[in-house]
Amino acid sequence: MGFLKRSWRSLLKLSLALGSLGMLSLLSFQKEKWDPTYIISYSWLAYTDSDSIPETVCNCSAILQGEREALEQAKLLSVTRDFRKSIHIPDEYYINATMDCSEFRFKRKYLTIPLSQEEEDFPLAYSIVVHHKVQNFERLLRAIYAPHNIYCVHVDKKSEPTVFSSIMAITSCFPNVFMASHPVSVVYAAWPRVQADLNCMADLYNASTKWKYFLNLCGQDFPLKTNLEIVRVLRSLKGMNSLESEKMPDAKKWRVTNSHKIVDGRIQGTGKAKDPPPFNLPILSGNAYMVVSRGYIRSVLEDKRVLALIDWAKDTYSPDEFLWATIQRIPGVPGSSWPNTKFDMSDMNAIARLVKWEWHEGSEGIQDAVYPKCQGQHVRSICVYGAGDLNWMLQQHHLFANKFDTDTDPIAVYCLEKYLRQKVLAGLL
């Protein structure tokens, strides 16, 4: 089997090298029958300007280098209604196109064989929480997809029926991508957001014993690195986790000292004070996103202290912004750090997620400025990236960035995915 996979890869490399000469047929070693998707050419795998999609009018290399003229053109396009309309992939497309899965994987240029032994030996588990914007989700899945990783997709129970059915249709085309077995109705800043990730964690933990690291995403995240780069960064962590985990600011303490409940789909205070956390665990502050070892997930699912903490956290406000950060500092949890403040880690130092908050933006050298101004637009004080953010973004060490929106700034996603795919293919040559 190992030999056959190696042969597969050398044939793929050969086909990439010869790609410009035209189509090169590859015989299948993994399936009984000839499969038309095995006709591989360089242009099949690369996102090229001959792809008949409207975004190709942009010059992505100029955009990535931050050239003003190209950025201005991209900005102009992004606010042009007809352009935005022309790039929108409707949910119905996915339902229709996934009726023939091999055609779908082929047309959408999914990479369906492991591209290196190194990646294959280091499988990853992803939890992806989605509630709308199917196209955004599918572009994300395509960017992170590898046949040896596994993916659990949690679609909010309240989502539009077409969102649910098109995402289900997409997942049905991949043996290693599945829907969460117990979907919940997510309420902003309340417990069910955590429950969605917990349900996927349990499914992923149970589905395979092989994966080494767990990463959680939402439908509006996008990777800044290729799968191989992600694997190398994770290996260099040597079992440690990477996520924001800091002293909780006084202004946020009410979130965990008062009890809350969900009324008509919204969280509100009950006016009652909460007991202190179990085992007097120190509560730390962080965000919803983490890069953690399999052992951390085992602790989340089985450690009695964590289970007590989870139970205690169910009536707090925005539990996703302290739970993972707190577990990260519990002694004995694999990959954790000691609770001493010397081990505090900010979102900028952790690699899990790059987010631009409006109040931290500003020029270098200005007090309180953490990053340059958002080049897209703000939604609830978070930057939805524009093409002009890419140059800065790709210099950061984070594995993923949040947020992207293919409806409001399609060029940012287009140039990013094209850049990553080129890097993947260049690495094979």
Ligand X SMILES: *[C@@H]1O[C@H](CO)[C@@H](O)[C@H](O)[C@H]1NC(C)=O
Does the protein bind ligand X through residue 102 (CB under 6 A)?
no
Q: Which stretch binds ligand X (CB under 6 A): 56-64, 137-145, 407-415, 419-427?
A: 56-64
Helix (H, G, I), strand (E, B) or coil at 363: coil
Residue from the set 13, 48, 56, 62 that interacts with ligand X by CB under 6 A: 62
Q: Could you tell me the strand order of the sheet in which 221-223 lies?
A: 221-223, 400-402, 353-355
DSSP 164: H
Residue 206 contacts ligand X per CB under 6 A: yes
Cα→Cα distances 88→20, 99, 244, 276, Å? 30, 20, 34, 49
Smallest distance, ligand X to C-beta of residue 110, A: 16
Determine the 3-state secondary structure of 184 from DSSP.
coil
Residue 48 found at the interface with ligand X (CB under 6 A): no
Alpha helix stretches (DSSP H) within 19-133: 42-45, 60-64, 68-78, 81-87, 91-97, 101-107, 117-120
Of 59-67, 71-79, 330-338, 363-371: span binding ligand X (CB under 6 A): 59-67
61 near ligand X, rule: CB under 6 A: yes
In terms of residues, how long is the chain?
429
> Which residues from 359-388 bind ligand X, rule CB under 6 A?
none
At residue 232, what is the residue type? R
Binding window for ligand X (CB under 6 A); candidates: 55-63, 353-361, 389-397, 398-406 = 55-63
Does 112 bind ligand X (CB under 6 A)? Our answer is no
Q: For ligand X, give the closer residue by CB, 80 or 181.
A: 181
Q: Between residues 54 and 239, which has the closer beta carbon with respect to ligand X?
A: 54
Q: What gap in Å lies between CA 36 and CA 313, rounded to an integer?
A: 52
Size of the site for ligand X (CB under 6 A): 7
Q: With binding defined as CB under 6 A, does residue 35 bind ligand X? A: no
Q: 151 or 317, CB closer to ligand X?
A: 151
Distance CA 340, CA 181 (A): 38
Binding segment toward ligand X, per CB under 6 A, in 58-66, 225-233, 318-326, 385-393: 58-66
**Shortest CB 63 distance to ligand X, Å:** 8
377 forms bridges with which residues in the sheet? 384
Determine if 59 is a binding residue for ligand X (CB under 6 A).
yes
Catalytic residues: 321
Nearer to ligand X, 146 or 300 (CB): 300
Name which of 59 and 337 has its Cβ closer to ligand X. Answer: 59
* Runs of H (alpha helix) within 275-371: 294-302, 304-313, 323-327
To the nearest whole angstrom, how small is the minimum distance from the Cβ of residue 352 to ligand X?
25
Q: Which is nearer to ligand X, 299 or 316 (CB)?
A: 299
Q: Which stretch binds ligand X (CB under 6 A): 61-69, 157-165, 172-180, 374-382?
A: 61-69
Q: Are 111 and 188 within 8 A, CB to CB?
A: no
Please give the Cα distance from 360 to 353 (Å, whole number). 15
List 5, 26, 39, 67, residue binding ligand X (CB under 6 A): 67
> With b meaning 16 or more CB within 10 Å and e meaning fewer, what string describes 244-263?
bbbebeeeeeebbebbbeee
Q: Are strands 377-379 and 382-384 parallel, antiparallel or unpaired?
A: antiparallel
* 281 token code pair: 């665990």
| Lookup: tokens for 89 | 């992939």
Q: 89, 113, 168, 202: which one contacts ligand X (CB under 6 A)?
A: 202
**Cα 279 from Cα 277, distance rounded (Å):** 7
Q: Which of 28, 80, 96, 377 binds ligand X (CB under 6 A)?
A: 96
Of 67 and 344, which CB lies nearer to ligand X in the complex structure? 67
Binding site for ligand X (CB under 6 A): 59, 61-62, 67, 96, 202, 206
